[in-house]
């Protein structure tokens, strides 16, 4: 696919994302020819979500769409996605606006028409991010005999190693090469606006295209109930908005209405919280040496040991396997590191605002720290455990490891798999 974006007459971008499919060229061409309108429409929608990275550089008040067209309800849906998905971006850049006024979308193209509906197989596409969550989804579905195709955007060590640990051949991976136009990075160095975009929303539209190509009905994400919590309490600003149930439900309604109702996009881990996911992952030792969740260390496939995400992962592992084990898996003695105090305060609720990272709720972190404290036999406690005790932040939710949320889009057989994994 090729996409062109421009801002004014002088700023032009072009990107060419590539999906490496598992089909033969002849089968792929036949499939495309028979469903041309749908595939063009899916590509059009990928362009709309890719545009968010380039729109945010200027926050242009008018968004002109020259290829394809959107109905009024679709425009409202896209404005809501942009507004909520860029909540952190607006907040950190000091932009005060509202969903109604932050931009207007106008279309000059013609709508794509649908003639055929896809015929799907009862198989699963599982996006792999390299962290503990997608490893749990991959492992549980595979253990229960589901037919799986892993999907990876811009493969790196942790994502490929996760698939290898699951004993799935690399030639069974659907790979997506997603570039960023270097001009955008140049503009950022010149002072044009930059910040967080809803990556999971972008992933969602790519998974529809990959699912349509391979006729894979189920798209099993690995987002948990914890993603629904606002990063800034009392506001709608959520670093994980496109991982939330609100986005998932809205996205399902959107593609069922405007694309194809045969897709089944859902988060397999939605009924669970971060602590429950960590309890399952703590038993999957084959992934412990290969998973990575640190954004700072993503390019080098490592844990930096100095960020909120590393600290959160350390705490989750430590709750079930002890901090000595977490020392080996993530980074040594993170709970004895005074430089982690600010992140610790944000994770535990001592500070008012959570880290702008994909981390669990305050309640889950405090429950995990209470579990760690009970495991420590030495009279001398780590520095941050002492701080935890000083603020009396012991576990504040009874039964957090047993409660399965009823807010999800899972089938009964999926719920049974999760229930058995928690035993």
Domain spans, the chain: 3-267, 293-390
Q: What is the pLDDT of residue 117?
A: 84
DSSP codes, 124-135 = EEEE--SSHHHH
Rounded Cα gap, residues 263 and 270, in angstroms: 18
Rounded Cα gap, residues 173 and 158, in angstroms: 14
Q: What is the pLDDT of residue 85?
A: 97
pTM of the complete model: 0.95
CB 17 within 8 A of CB 181: no
| Closest CA relative to residue 339, chosen from 302, 304, 311, 306 | 306
Rounded Cα gap, residues 403 and 395, in angstroms: 15
In what helix (H) or strand (E) does residue 175 lie, and over which residues does it extend?
A: strand 174-177
> Residue 263 phi/psi, 5° resolution?
-65, 150
| Closest CA relative to residue 70, chosen from 60, 57, 82 | 82
- Give exposure, 144-177, as e/b (b: 16+ Cβ within 10 Å): eebebbbbbbebbebbbbbbebbebeeeebbbbe
Residues of the chain with pLDDT under 50: 395
CB 193 within 8 A of CB 57: yes
Q: What is the pLDDT of residue 379?
A: 82
Q: What is the pLDDT of residue 393?
A: 57
Contacts of 41 (CB under 8 A, 6+ apart): 68, 112, 114, 258, 259
Q: What is the pLDDT of residue 154?
A: 96
Q: What is the pLDDT of residue 397?
A: 54
Strand 104-107, strand 121-127: pairing = unpaired
Q: What is the pLDDT of residue 115?
A: 67
In what helix (H) or strand (E) does residue 329 lie, and over which residues does it extend?
A: helix 323-329
Rounded Cα gap, residues 181 and 174, in angstroms: 23
Q: What is the pLDDT of residue 391?
A: 83
Rounded Cα gap, residues 136 and 278, in angstroms: 9
> Residue 110 phi/psi, 5° resolution?
-115, 150
Q: What is the pLDDT of residue 34?
A: 86
CA angle 224–416–316, rounded 5-degree value: 35
CB 258 within 8 A of CB 164: no
């Amino acid at each position: 696919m090729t996409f062109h974006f421009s801002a004014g007459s002088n700023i032009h971008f072009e990107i060419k994302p590539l999906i490496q499919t598992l089909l033969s060229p002849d089968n792929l061409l036949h499939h495309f020819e028979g469903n041309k309108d749908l595939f063009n429409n899916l590509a059009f929608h990928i362009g709309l979500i890719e545009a968010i990275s380039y729109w945010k550089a200027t926050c242009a008040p008018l968004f002109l769409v020259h290829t394809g067209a959107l109905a009024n309800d679709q425009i409202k849906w896209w404005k809501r996605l942009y507004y909520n998905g860029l909540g952190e971006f607006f907040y950190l850049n000091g932009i005060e606006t509202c969903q109604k006024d932050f931009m207007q979308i106008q279309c000059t193209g013609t709508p794509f028409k649908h003639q055929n509906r896809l015929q799907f197989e009862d198989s699963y596409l599982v996006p792999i991010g390299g962290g503990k969550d997608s490893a749990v989804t991959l492992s549980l579905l595979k253990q229960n005999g589901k037919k799986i195709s892993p999907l990876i955007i811009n493969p790196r060590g942790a994502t490929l190693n996760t698939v290898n640990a699951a004993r799935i051949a690399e030639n069974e991976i659907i790979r997506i090469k997603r570039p960023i136009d270097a001009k955008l990075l140049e503009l950022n160095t010149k002072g044009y606006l930059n910040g967080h975009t809803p990556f999971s929303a972008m992933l969602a539209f790519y998974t529809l295209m990959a699912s349509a190509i391979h006729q894979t009905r189920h798209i099993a994400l690995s987002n948990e109930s914890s993603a629904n919590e606002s990063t800034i309490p009392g506001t709608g600003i959520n670093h994980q908005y496109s991982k939330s149930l609100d986005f998932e439900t809205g996205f399902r309604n959107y593609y069922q209405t405007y694309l194809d109702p045969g897709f089944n996009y859902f988060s397999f881990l939605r009924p669970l919280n971060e602590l429950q996911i960590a309890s399952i992952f703590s038993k999957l030792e084959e992934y412990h040496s290969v998973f990575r969740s640190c954004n700072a260390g993503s390019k080098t496939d490592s844990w930096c040991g100095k960020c909120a995400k590393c600290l959160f992962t350390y705490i989750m592992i430590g709750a079930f396997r002890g901090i000595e084990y977490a020392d080996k898996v993530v980074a040594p003695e993170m709970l004895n590191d005074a430089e982690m105090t600010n992140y610790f305060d944000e994770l535990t609720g001592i500070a008012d605002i959570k880290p702008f990272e994909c981390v669990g709720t305050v309640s889950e972190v405090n429950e995990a720290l209470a579990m760690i404290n009970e495991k420590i036999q030495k009279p001398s406690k780590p520095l941050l455990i002492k701080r935890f005790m000083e603020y009396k932040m012991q576990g504040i939710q009874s039964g957090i490891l047993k409660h399965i949320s009823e807010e999800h889009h899972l089938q009964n057989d999926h719920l049974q798999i999760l229930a058995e994994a928690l035993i």
